Amino acid sequence: MTKLAFLFYEGMKKKVKAEKKKEIITGFYDLSRLEGIENVSIAKIGKHLGMPPSLIMHYFPNKRLLVLGLIAHILHQYQLIYKPIINKLEKDHKVYPELLVNRLFSREWNLLFDDGVFFSCFAMTFRDETIKKEYKKLHIKLRNTLKTLLDKDPVFARGDTALLAEKIFVVIEGAYYYLSLIEDEKEYERKLSIFKDQVFQLLQVESQLILDENE
């Protein structure tokens, strides 16, 4: 086997392996949505995907690695929620508060993402340092993304964008947590508009402050 052929072969093997791993993680995630992560066993995942538990353990030598894989998956998913927001706002070098707020609180939240799995895994941060670091990385990333967005607007760029991002995200996260408890559609909408307004005001106050300074 030539070196090139070998590398290609290795690449193929890795690809197959990666795909299989992804299939297992996705199965794990789907079952977790349905039954709660704490009720999902390796045997159940196997049954769900039509493979023996031993095959799962071939790709994930122990359950913790499987859980870590799931967490990497959902944190990636979580970030994806914000992708369309970023793409839209990145083009214009201007942050329109109303648009930003609407996108930050968009309903894609609940559709693309299972809060139950997210919070179950979050609870693990208290007992697993690796998981804690993953969650922290996510939060830092999200805040940085927003900061970068704000930095592109000449108005906000004059203020403390990191601080503003911090203040905005704490409301988003509080809302994300609190709203997950509310099932009544009308009540949900009412509260949602309160929190949107709250973030909107943060943006308004900040931009007003900056403009006043430079008059």
Partner DNA sequence: TTTAATATTGAATGAATATTCAATAAATGA
Partner DNA sequence: TCATTTATTGAATATTCATTCAATATTAAA
Closer residue to DNA, CB minimum distance, 52 or 154: 52
Residue 155: name its binding partner from its own copies, DNA, none (Cβ under 5 to 8 Å by kind). none
User: Do 131 and 71 form a contact (C-beta atoms < 8 A)?
Assistant: yes
CB of 73 to DNA, least distance (A): 17
* Stretch of 10-18, 54-62, 83-91, 191-199 lying at the interface with its own copies (CB under 8 A): 191-199
Q: What is the DSSP letter of 51?
A: S
Q: Which stretch binds its own copies (CB under 8 A): 65-73, 88-96, 104-112, 192-200?
A: 192-200
Query: Does 141 help bind its own copies (rule: CB under 8 A)?
Result: no
Largest CA distance in the chain: 72
Q: Tell me how far apart the alpha carbons of residues 37 and 17 are, in angstroms, rounded to a whole number.
A: 24
Chain contacts with DNA (rule: CB under 7 A): 1-2, 5-6, 8-9, 12-13, 16-17, 20, 39, 41-44, 51-55, 57-58, 61-64
Q: Kindly tell me the burial class for residue 99, based on how many C-beta atoms sit within 10 Å of its own C-beta (0-12, 13-18, 19 or more).
A: middle
CA-based torsion, 99, 105, 111, 114: positive or negative = positive
Nearer to DNA, 42 or 101 (CB): 42
Q: How far apart are CA 59 and CA 174, in angstroms?
A: 37
Q: Binding partner of residue 43 among its own copies, DNA, none, CB under 5 to 8 Å per kind?
A: DNA
Is residue 154 a contact point for its own copies (CB under 8 A)? Answer: no
Phi-psi region of 179 (alpha: psi -120 to 50; beta: other; left: phi over 0): alpha
Counting contacts by CB under 8 A, is residue 64 touching its own copies? Answer: no
Cβ atoms of 95 and 156 closer than 8 Å: yes
**Among residues 51, 55, 155, 171, which is the contact residue for its own copies, using CB under 8 A?**
171
